[in-house]
Chains A and B, each alone.
Chain A
């Protein structure tokens, strides 16, 4: 009887997911890889649109309005928070597994987790047990988010060594764009499935789960890794490392020992903290800062506009970083961001909605740009070999910022209002605090220098790691064979 390992080696069901089966044949176009990455990121980007389910899920019993026994908004808010926590945790824990197992296996697993997360959540809605949704969308879906987010990153960098920022920017732009599809699609599906005795959330979850599973597995089927000797036509790799771009690799856990990793962690965390808090409060903030001028409908339009610039900024800034360098790109974020945040209170005091909107669309473009430029920054610092795994560890900065940003914005606003500050001016201090965070980020970025050569992997270490990996597989194979032979 064949063992799993033998089946894998013989090219059976699991063999299709193996890294060796994803190596591109000569003549494969690298432009097939960004759509594969987008298949993943457009699906997991749904996370940004999860709030469309919040209100309907508070009326599962009462249907037209909340009834006793219906879930509260505060309880439902935990679903997204758990998912974001597990995004960071799974990206950090499974980063090396993703990197060494190849993108197809990771994308397949991400699709399975993400799709299954929705299906389990549908069961939770049917049974009206919130913990099942925490487990489904929060834990399992969160793991799908983490695996999916990092799975195509290093593959894209390897296919586009000449334009790594643009390549990763394209994929991460998909994460920003996923909500654009998920939000109207979810609303439409809920309307289709709603009956006088039913809000249609469970059926919508089932549909989304199946759609996302198929979509993500299509991405897994399309994706390829380049052959080790492959390089783009006409591209000559730099022989010598430039000041801030290494040609050597740093082992994933050695990267954690470098100050560069922690400075980039702080840079990402501060940039995201400043943006994420505002994004969550944008609707309320625009209405409170411009009472009578910005209606609820206009505020919804403002949020849509911010999301659009969040998405476009991912592609624009990451592509720009290929020309001006990653460090300079983050300098742009921190300098322009600080000025714009400091300007926002003035836009409120002069009553200029146009200037207010202009400030925030630029800020949001840089918030998205921060996410999209960071994989290429890591590649420049630590090389391409473990960039996916290192990126996975860095994603924990996002999890921290996801808590820090909204807490800062909400609590400062509450404090201001409690101390008699008019609502129109309650955000002024918040804006100055955000500007202050970006100043700290500026200095963290300033301190980033090239990684010390003692952290670079030597050819011996690389050979030893490859041998250890092979030996590990052989040991696993022999252990798996033993019962069959016994």
Chain B
């Protein structure tokens, strides 16, 4: 059975869509934070 959220869109659609943009963004933010830490070294 497909897991459907309260509005009817399958939950995996939401996970896929948010993952598609969230993973690259999280990678970029992690890189930036790693660089920013040099300010405090």
Q: Please state if A35 and B20 are interface contacts (CB–CB under 8 Å).
A: yes
Contact residues in B for A304 (Cβ distance below 8 Å): 32-33, 35-36
Chain A residues within 8 Å of chain B by Cβ, number = 36
Most buried by A among B21, B29, B33: B21
Smallest CB separation, A309 vs chain B (Å): 10
Which residues of A sit under 8 angstroms from B40, Cβ to Cβ? Answer: 301
CB contact list, A275-320 vs B, under 8 A? 294, 297-302, 304-305, 307-308, 311
A222 to chain B: which residues have CB within 8 Å?
A: 17
Tell me if A301 and B36 are in contact (CB < 8 A): yes
Across the interface, do A177 and B29 meet the contact criterion of CB distance under 8 Å? Answer: yes
Which of the segments A22-30, A141-149, A449-457, A473-481 contacts the partner chain?
A22-30
Q: How many whole Å from A468's CB to the nearest CB in chain B? A: 35
> Which residue on A lies nearest to B21, using beta carbons?
A38
Which chain B positions have C-beta within 8 A of A301? 35-40
- Name the interface residues of A1-58: CB closer than 8 Å to any CB of B: 26-32, 35-36, 38-39, 42
Q: Is B3 an interface residue (CB 8 A)?
A: no
B-side contacts of A184, CB under 8 Å:
28, 31
Query: Could you give, for residues 222-253 of chain A, a 1 whenever the CB lies within 8 Å of some chain B CB and a 0 otherwise?
Result: 10000000000100000000000000000000
Q: Beyond A32-B9, A32-B14, is A308–B21 a contact (Cβ under 8 Å)?
A: no
Answer yes or no: A471 CB below 8 A from chain B CBs.
no
A-B contact count (CB 8 A): 87
**For residue A31, which residues in chain B have a CB less than 8 angstroms away from its CB?**
9, 14, 18
Task: Report A104 CB to chain B, min CB distance, Å.
Answer: 15
A163 shortest CB reach to chain B, Å: 16
Report the bound CA distance from A42 to B33 in whole Å. 18
Partner of A308, one of B5, B9, B20, B33: B33
* B38 contacts A297, C-beta separation under 8 Å: yes
Q: Does A464 contact B (CB under 8 A)?
A: no
**Which residue of A36, A42, A302 contacts B17 across the interface (Cβ within 8 Å)?**
A36
Q: Give Cα A305–Cα B33 distance, bound, in whole angstroms.
A: 7
**A169 adjacent to chain B (CB < 8 Å):** no
Q: Please, how many angstroms separate the alpha-carbon atoms of A218 and B21 in the complex?
A: 11
Return the chain A residue nearest B11 by Cβ.
A29
Q: List 14 A-B contacts (CB under 8 A).
A: A29-B14, A31-B9, A32-B14, A35-B21, A174-B21, A177-B25, A180-B28, A180-B29, A181-B28, A298-B41, A299-B39, A301-B35, A301-B39, A302-B36
> Which A-B residue pairs are the 7 nearest by beta carbons?
A27-B8, A180-B28, A301-B39, A29-B9, A301-B38, A181-B28, A35-B17
